[in-house]
Amino acid sequence: MSVEMSVFLTNDAAAPQWGAKALLSFTESGAQIHLTKQSPLAAIQRAARKLDNQGIKTVTLAGDNWDLEAAWAFVQGYRNAKKSNTLTLPQFEDADQKELDSRIQITDWVRDIINQPGDEVAPRQLASRAAELIKSLAPEQVKYKIIKGVDLLDEGWSGIYTVGRGSKRSPSMLRLDFNPTGDEDAPVHTVLVGKGITFDTGGYSLKPSAGMMAMKADMGGAALATGALAFAISRGLNKRVKLVLCCAENMISSSAYKLGDIIKYKNDKTVEVQNTDAEGRLVMADGLIYANTQNPQRVIDVATLTGAAKMALGNDYHAIMSFDESFTADALASAKEENEGMWPLPLEEFHRDMLPSQYADLSNIASGDFAPGATTAAAFLSHFVDEYQTGWLHVDASGTFRKSPTDKWAAGATGMGVRTLGNLILKGE
């Protein structure tokens, strides 16, 4: 007897015995998903979650109603962090099949590396695995270098080194160049900068246990940036793009950085550490300084930077901030095209003045009542972008990871945003 469940799509309502507005019903042939007119893809994703929650571990998508987007919605909902399910998908025409295969391959990589424990993903491993993924997609068009440990200081990358020096596992910076032009002097279209904090204790500004449980996912920005470049390549990217990952563990030890320490950056800005749990912006500053040296047309930085963004938007949207209204509009248009969630938060010139220090050029946290945490974090980063008013977009990746399951998502990493950012890279002039 087969243990495989066939799943069909139907626009018909379920029989009354299944309940009013039933999403799923069952026959001798298998399960039927009853689509809603308003949001059919969301209905498919919710139905896939229900099947996984019911312990149905082997599924075939059957019948004639499945298309690329419907199959993808099912894939997203049916997948769980344990990867315990087996799914047989329909075969589509070549272009759609290639697109679906790319989505699955790349988002699986993103979700897997975020879900893995911090013990399995050290800073150097994160940098190496990201480089290997991109290299595997375009072996002749990719060069990269990983700088680690005290070598970071030799090159002036004091933010990454300072945050990571409390761990026995070396902080690392990945610098990767995807150059399909074959011209070593070709201009750089986009630099992607990703936050790769492979575990965040909060340092001496120690997180409580509940707040630390998901901190293996604090490298989600690096994973998302890597996935975005990989996805753009899979769709035929023909522009030069660079990827910079700023990787460290934020740990406590006798060599860890402390409150009151002052970091001097390669651009001569000084930063007073007033909270060691605001470490992401300290490592990202190095990546942005490096991005400046490449004279790119656009810079996109991606980081699980603040709890404030998650409090504002939940897990259903990534927050985006920029002084460049056209770049924001492009990002929102890409999100709509890819059916993913992004939402803008305010960022103005006066926010750049909300980071005062008596001892340095900047503090790493804002001061004053009701300081907007996500916005002032973005404002901090803007001090390390030479042309911050144009061509720079900050993504506070609040939808990267879910501590608890929902009706659409299993607990863990989502992969949300890979397609939007990949699309955005491809669309830029």
The C-alpha atoms of residue 325 and residue 140 are separated, in whole angstroms, by 36
> Does residue 265 carry a pLDDT above 50?
yes
For residues 127-132, average pLDDT: 98
Catalytic residue ranges: 207, 281
Question: Over the range 171-207, which residues count as b (16 or more CB within 10 Å of their CB) and which as e?
Answer: bbbbbbbbbbeeeeeeebbbbbbbbbbbbbbbbbbee
Average pLDDT, the chain: 97
Q: How would residue 367 be classed by pLDDT, with cut points 50, 70 and 90?
A: confident
CA–CA–CA angle 281, 216, 222 (5° rounding): 50
What confidence tier does 429 reach under pLDDT thresholds 50, 70, 90?
A: low
Mean pLDDT of 384-397: 98
- 394/392 Cα distance (integer angstroms): 7
| Alpha-carbon distances, residue 282 vs 220, 272, 302, 380, 410 (angstroms) | 16, 10, 14, 9, 31
Average pLDDT over residues 69-77: 98
Sheet strands side by side (includes 362-363): 262-264, 270-272, 362-363
Map out the domains of the chain with their CATH numbers: 5-90 (no CATH), 107-427 (3.40.630.10)
Residue 1 pLDDT > 50: no
pLDDT of residue 369: 85
Torsion from C-alpha of 217, 352, 293, 121, nearest 10 degrees: -10
**Mean pLDDT calculated for residue range 172-186:** 97
Predicted local distance difference test score (pLDDT) of residue 20: 85
The Cβ of residue 350 has, within 10 Å, a number of other Cβ atoms equal to 7
410 versus 368: which is more confidently predicted?
410
* pLDDT digits 0-9 by tens, 327-353: 999 999 999 999 999 999 999 999 999
pLDDT > 70 in the chain, percent:
99
The share of the chain scoring above pLDDT 90, in percent, equals 97
Is residue 196 pLDDT above 70, yes or no?
A: yes
Task: Dump pLDDT digits (tens) for 7-64.
Answer: 999 999 999 999 988 999 999 999 999 998 889 999 999 999 999 999 999 999 999 9
For every residue of 193-255, DSSP letters joined together read EEEEEEEE--TTSPPPHHHHTTGGGGGHHHHHHHHHHHHHHHTT--S-EEEEEEEEEE--STT
Tokens 């506070």 correspond to what residue?
396
- Give the span between the Cα atoms of 221 and 284, in whole angstroms: 10
Residue 117, Cβ density class (10 Å: 0-12 exposed, 13-18 middle, ≥19 buried): exposed
Q: Please check whether residue 160 is in contact with residue 246, taking contact to mean a CB–CB distance below 8 angstroms.
A: yes
Distance CA 205, CA 53 (A): 38
| pLDDT at residue number 179 | 98
The backbone region for 182, taken as left when phi is positive above 0, alpha when psi lies in -120 to 50, beta otherwise, is left
**Are the C-beta atoms of 172 and 147 separated by less than 8 Å?**
yes
Q: What is the pTM of this model?
A: 0.97
